[in-house]
Amino acid sequence: MDKIYTIKDIAELAGVSKGTVDRVLHKRGKVSEDALKKVNEVLDRIDYQPNLMARSLKKTQIYSICVLIPDSANDPYWQPCIDGINDAKKEFKSFNVKVEIFLFDPTSTASFVETNQNVLNSSPDAVLLVPLFHKEALDAIETYNSKGIISSIFNNQLKSSAIKSFVGQDLFQSGRIAARLLDLLIKKGTIAIVHIDEDYENAIHMQEKEKGFRDYFENLETGKFEIKTFKVKHPQFKTTLKEYLESNPAIEGLFVTTSKAYQVAKIIAKNPEKKIALVGYDLLENNLEYLNNKTIDFLIHQNPKRQAYLGTTSLIEHFIFEKEISPEKLLPIDIVNTENAKDYFL
Amino acid sequence: MDKIYTIKDIAELAGVSKGTVDRVLHKRGKVSEDALKKVNEVLDRIDYQPNLMARSLKKTQIYSICVLIPDSANDPYWQPCIDGINDAKKEFKSFNVKVEIFLFDPTSTASFVETNQNVLNSSPDAVLLVPLFHKEALDAIETYNSKGIISSIFNNQLKSSAIKSFVGQDLFQSGRIAARLLDLLIKKGTIAIVHIDEDYENAIHMQEKEKGFRDYFENLETGKFEIKTFKVKHPQFKTTLKEYLESNPAIEGLFVTTSKAYQVAKIIAKNPEKKIALVGYDLLENNLEYLNNKTIDFLIHQNPKRQAYLGTTSLIEHFIFEKEISPEKLLPIDIVNTENAKDYFL
DNA sequence: ATTTTTATTGTGTTCGAGCACATTTTAACA
DNA sequence: TGTTAAAATGTGCTCGAACACAATAAAAAT
């Protein structure tokens, strides 16, 4: 049977004291070759699993983790992240970890930089952040790294050797899924990819989604679909899109690459004679409203709550269970329609 | 600040010994009214959270949980359950819990009864089971209950006051989702609900799904769809379905209420001129093959792995963290197509 | 008033790992 | 060979909760 061994057991089996076993296990040195061999022989033979209860009971050090996310006052997309992080906090509240949330204004680079400075001042053991601003995020991560602070990111991909882990979705694949759905919705015709660019930088997000979207149709039998791209900034958005649709009456499907599908829905809902297929992102209140009245056909769920949860727990578990942090964790891309929308709020 | 209090702290604050505090906390009696009052006053004032590490370190009792699931040799649907249970085992391996898996033959009531007897002989603290056989499951659960053994179920719903928890999906809603998908796939026409009944009993499953499916169309503008039901037992399945489709050429969509959509796909794939929309359940190898070649349009993912995982962890956490077991946990109903299928194997 | 019984309260050990410190062994050097 | 330095090894306390057992106080019985 798989008996549970303790350090004391190992010490007895190897004929040494538990202090020596401890030194071997933690590679603290000051062990003779002879003793090292004896202990290692035992260790090879049995499957020693340190008792994590005893360990964390003894350890008085409290690990500190800071999470940097955009303030949901600016964009409701981020609200679920708070819940995910709080779930993680709750789950591990008995352990020696402290998780602190720092909010920044997603429309302000300065706010991002400043918040990172605040985080740095609290000198945490690890930071989980949403790298919304490419350059500034890289700088911050570099600084953390130089101070021995672990950095993980989620939601937005960012390549850097100083990053321990990324949690998010495969955006290229996400675009392909949207394509497949629109393929089903309108069997042929013209589709426009709509990029509603906010002030802040999610260009990479949108680009990857567009690539995936186009990739799907390129590998399809030709002639059935025509794909266009339409970029628009927020202020002039309403009139511009209206004009665009009027001047392109062939358009039968729209793919909105951000969480702002409801804004598009608002416009096309005014013209109910001509149903335009609409696929967008994220389960915001506004989007769900138009999903339920079937102006929006499908929403793709990016699961920000779970992203934040997993990003947080992987750091926590790294500290208290010495678990390895997997460099990349890609979440399933959930397809949501009228019928299963409410399931994703659990 | 939210200081963490220990029993010693409480004892000092109340001016009694830690033994007395312990007796108050555990209601072991043998405490004078005076002391009781003093301790309770402190307890009201502060928020005492017992250190679970220390507790489980001291407790030598090992909790035993048995999980009863169908043998995946008979039906590959159950394979992921094993993985989910093993994930739970791994996650809590440092704690005082032992999780044991018992397999039974889903085609044999006798096997189910016998396995329950084996479980009973090992006198566990809790049992998680798939109540495939209605009457026998109720009997088993009644027996467990009388011996003080906690029973939880997953995958199949079953009503009994002796059941602590159910993990699964809302099958009615699941049927509605299938309906919505077929509504999109074929804008109008005749749809057949196909019940492929295995020897074992999942009639309730299928009935609920059918109800949800029909419910969706009943609330729709009339005249667009006609819904039929087709029941078939396995042996004669192939020829019967073929004949059925030939004699009902109006059928443009099929909803297979079990994981056997691939068997239907095999038949309709032979007649590629007439594309029939097909929606089924579960990410089996066989189903995925036909999903990828687009014979199957959508699969609904019942997430057996997560069901088993959550069923197991909720019992484990009940024992080691004294967490309450929520009586019902309904999982999201995932819509799967060619593009996001592989995401669900993580 | 003294002993006995009962009720109440306090003390000390345990769980396993981690680490400081004490002790022993070995090596280095005069 | 004796002395000192260095290396290796062992011992013992701690973390917080649980619980057995010892100790004390209060009540009851003689």
Mean pLDDT of the region B155-170: 94
pLDDT at A234 over 80: no
- Residues A209-219: tens digit of each pLDDT: 999 999 999 98
Contacts of A249 (CB under 8 A, 6+ apart): none
Nearest CA among A85, A270, A300, A4 for reference residue A171: A300
Number of domains present in the structure of chain B:
3
Please tell me whether residues B104 and B204 are part of one structural domain. no
Q: Determine the distance between B35 (CA) and C10 (C1') in angstroms.
A: 13
Highest mean pLDDT out of A53-57, A164-168, B227-231: A164-168
Pairing of strands A63-70, A126-129: parallel
pLDDT at A1 over 80: no
Contacts of A307 (CB under 8 A, 6+ apart): A81, A84, A154, A155, A167, A168, A331
Mean pLDDT of the region B255-267: 92
For CA atoms B70, B71, B74, B80, the dihedral sign is positive
Please tell me whether residues A75 and A124 are part of one structural domain. yes
B331 at A interface, C-beta within 8 A = yes
Question: Residue A342: inside a domain, yes or no?
Answer: no
Q: Which residue has the higher pLDDT, A196 or B237?
A: A196
Mean pLDDT of the region A22-28: 93
Instruction: Tell me the DSSP string of B105-172.
Output: -TT-HHHHHHHHHHHHHT--SEEEE---SHHHHHHHHHHHHHTT-EEEEESS----TTEEEEEE--HH
Whether the CB of A13 is less than 7 Å away from nucleic strand C comes out as no
Question: Residue A154: inside a domain, yes or no?
Answer: yes
Domain around A11? 7-50
Alpha carbons A109 and B271: distance in angstroms, whole number:
59
B340 at A interface, C-beta within 8 A = yes
Nearest CA among A142, A141, A176, A146 for reference residue A156: A141
Please tell me whether residues B85 and B204 are part of one structural domain. no
Output the domain CATH number for residue B288.
Answer: 3.40.50.2300
Are A332 and B343 a contacting pair at CB < 8 A?
Answer: yes
Whether the CB-CB separation of B195 and B231 falls below 8 Å is answered with: yes
Nearest CA among A219, A201, A323, A338 for reference residue A258: A201
pLDDT at B198 over 70: no
Mean pLDDT of the region A40-64: 90
Give the nearest chain B residue to A344 (CA atoms): B332
Q: Which of B62, B340, B342, B346 to mutate to test the interface with A (most CBs of A within 10 A)?
A: B340
Nearest to A180 among B184, B321, B339 (CB): B339
Q: Which of B56, B61, B343, B345 to mutate to test the interface with A (most CBs of A within 10 A)?
A: B343
Q: Which nucleotide is nearest to A26 (CA to C1')?
A: C18
Output the domain CATH number for residue A17.
Answer: 1.10.260.40
- Residues A63-89: tens digit of each pLDDT: 999 999 999 998 899 999 999 999 999
pLDDT at B199 over 60: no
Percent of chain B with pLDDT over 70: 97
Q: Which residue has the higher pLDDT, B238 or A119?
A: A119
Question: Residue A96: inside a domain, yes or no?
Answer: yes
Chain B residues with CB-CB distance to A343 below 8 A: 170, 173, 330-333
Chain A residues with CB-CB distance to B297 below 8 A: 184
What pLDDT does residue B202 have? 61
Q: Determine the distance between A55 (CA) and D2 (C1') in angstroms.
A: 45
For D16, nearest residue by CA–C1' is B54
Average pLDDT, chain A: 91
Whether the CB of A12 is less than 7 Å away from nucleic strand C comes out as no
Q: Determine the distance between B27 (CA) and C9 (C1') in angstroms.
A: 15
Whether the CB of B19 is less than 7 Å away from nucleic strand C comes out as yes
Question: Residue A217: inside a domain, yes or no?
Answer: yes
Question: Residue A256: inside a domain, yes or no?
Answer: yes
Whether the CB-CB separation of A226 and A252 falls below 8 Å is answered with: no
- Residues B98-145: tens digit of each pLDDT: 999 999 999 899 999 999 999 999 999 999 999 999 999 999 999 999
For CA atoms B252, A226, A176, A82, the dihedral sign is negative
Alpha carbons B70 and B78: distance in angstroms, whole number:
7
Nearest to B338 among A180, A332, A336 (CB): A180
Place of tokens 């059928």: B251
Alpha carbons B336 and B342: distance in angstroms, whole number:
9
Q: Which nucleotide is nearest to B60 (CA to C1')?
A: C15
Give the nearest chain B residue to A178 (CA atoms): B339
Q: Determine the distance between B18 (CA) and C4 (C1') in angstroms.
A: 29
Which strands make up the sheet holding A97-104, listed edge to edge?
A97-104, A63-70, A126-129, A150-154, A163-168, A328-330
Percent of chain A with pLDDT over 90: 69
Q: Determine the distance between B34 (CA) and C3 (C1') in angstroms.
A: 28
Question: Which residues are B228's β-sheet partners?
Answer: B192
What pLDDT does residue B201 have? 55
Under the banding of pLDDT at 50, 70 and 90, the label for residue A201 is: low
Please tell me whether residues B163 and B309 are part of one structural domain. yes
Whether the CB of A47 is less than 7 Å away from nucleic strand C comes out as no
Please tell me whether residues B274 and B200 are part of one structural domain. yes
What pLDDT does residue A176 have? 96
- Tokens read off for B61: 């009792």
B346 at A interface, C-beta within 8 A = yes
Nearest to B53 among A56, A173, A180 (CB): A56
Average pLDDT, chain B: 91
Question: Residue A185: inside a domain, yes or no?
Answer: yes
Pairing of strands B63-70, B97-104: parallel
Please tell me whether residues B110 and B182 are part of one structural domain. no
A111 at B interface, C-beta within 8 A = no
Instruction: Tell me the DSSP string of B217-286.
Output: HHTSPTTSEEEEEEEEESTTHHHHHHHHHHH-TTEEEEEE-SS-HHHHHHHHTT-TTS--EEEEE---HH
Nearest to A333 among B56, B95, B340 (CB): B340
For CA atoms A209, A210, A211, A217, the dihedral sign is positive
Please tell me whether residues B222 and B159 are part of one structural domain. no
- Residues A306-317: tens digit of each pLDDT: 999 999 999 999
What pLDDT does residue B312 have? 97
Please tell me whether residues B87 and B67 are part of one structural domain. yes
Question: Residue A247: inside a domain, yes or no?
Answer: yes
Q: Which of B2, B53, B87, B255 to mutate to test the interface with A (most CBs of A within 10 A)?
A: B53
Mean pLDDT of the region A242-265: 91
Please tell me whether residues A158 and A192 are part of one structural domain. no
pLDDT at B221 over 80: no
Nearest to B339 among A53, A176, A185 (CB): A176
Alpha carbons B20 and A258: distance in angstroms, whole number:
60
Please tell me whether residues A110 and A133 are part of one structural domain. yes
What pLDDT does residue B235 have? 65
Mean pLDDT of the region B54-75: 90
Contacts of A139-145 spanning 24+ positions with Cβ under 8 A: A140/A112, A140/A113, A140/A116, A143/A116, A144/A120
pLDDT at B25 over 90: yes
| Nucleotides in chain C with any atom closer than 7 Å to protein CB | 7-12, 14-21
Pairing of strands B163-168, B225-233: unpaired
Please tell me whether residues A268 and A221 are part of one structural domain. yes
Question: Residue B151: inside a domain, yes or no?
Answer: yes
Please tell me whether residues B163 and B185 are part of one structural domain. no
